[in-house]
Structure 1
């Protein structure tokens, strides 16, 4: 990997981590540059649109990473009920292991800055849309009627996102476990 590409990727990775835990507005330019291990000029060299461009691209990276994990978990599960329960369990574990700092890698920034930046809104919507598509396509491949699979994917994504937020706010995984049990039961009835 060429040195400039390596620096750019390191900046994206560190920005994705900072935005995940702190949000957009609480993460400063100096912090982004320091975490990326690059001189300040590198930020504008690699991201001429500044912090907003870096955030949008970092969100895309975060969304793709979680999307890849989601696809792996779904495909490895015995059935849709086990699949969705495994997804919820992994997200709950990640949240707990981070001392309730690392919920959804997109939600913190979506709530913080999507209303004021089209680039950030679009990156957030793209990630959520890809996750929705992954779940709906998986459910359809499992024999669930496509329209119903679409609806179940919306319910799963919305429920999990809400549970992550409540768990993070209350520093308690109970919402995750409640949603996981409910989704498992719902998906078991569908297949």
Structure 2
């Protein structure tokens, strides 16, 4: 029955492989994860693995496209679209991440950062795809700051630079949290970003 399910559900097999790879790449790293290990985690045959992903690199690209980009969209871009302004959205995003990591009791790090740190120097195509995910994240933040400039009459803010700052602060805090297996750095980063943005918005509003 297992063989029939795999034969009749190629997209399901592909999803299982990508899901297993995503979990492994995030938790233990892309380089450290072998294809045989992923076959076992996904419960697929060698033939099925070779059919969908003849090489590990192709699987890595699929994970970036199908899972890492989606994680950034769900975690960052959707809340930015849904909230009234950038400071509110960023604070909510940090709160959600901290709550989820506290519930899990472990910190695997940012999937995008994890893969970027490992593969960007070694594979130009993977680097370009990862860069595209960073670009989408940066564009979403920049657009939210731009909208605040228009709707709130806030001045003297540089949306692009602020977007870079937020991404860098989050990425650094997540790296420290992963190293320590402690959400404390993310808690600190959330508080400092909230205070900084509140100050910038107040000062800019007064200046108008």
TM range (shorter): 0.7 to 0.9
TM-score, normalising length from structure 2? 0.81
Pairing partner for 2:133 from 124, 127, 134:
127
2:164 corresponds to: 154
1:71 corresponds to: 77
1:118 corresponds to: 124
Distance 2:61 2:101 in 1: 23
Distance 2:132 2:14 in 1: 21
Shift in Å, 1:10: 1.9
How many pairs were matched up?
A: 189
Distance 2:128 2:42 in 1: 24
1:139 equivalenced with 2:155 (yes/no): no
Distance 2:185 2:20 in 1: 29
- 1:145/1:136 Cα in 2 relative to 1: closer, same or farther (>3 Å)? farther
1:189 equivalenced with 2:191 (yes/no): no
1:2-81 alignment to 2 at 5 Å?
Answer: 3-48=9-54, 50-61=55-66, 62-81=68-87
Q: Which entry has the higher C-alpha Rg, 1 or 2?
A: 2
Instruction: Point out where structure 2 has 5 or more consecutive residues left out of the alignment.
Output: 1-7, 202-208
Distance 1:115 1:55 in 2: 15
- 1:116/1:147 Cα in 2 relative to 1: closer, same or farther (>3 Å)? farther
1:175 corresponds to: 185
Shift in Å, 1:147: 7.4
Distance 1:68 1:140 in 2: 21
Greater RCO, CA 8 A, separation 6+: 1
Distance 2:102 2:65 in 1: 24
After superposition, the C-alpha distances for 1:131-168 in whole angstroms (9 at most, x for unaligned) are 11111112212226797111111000010000000011
TM-score, normalising length from structure 1? 0.88
1:109 equivalenced with 2:115 (yes/no): yes
Instruction: Point out where structure 1 has 5 or more consecutive residues left out of the alignment.
Output: none
Pairing partner for 2:175 from 146, 161, 165:
165
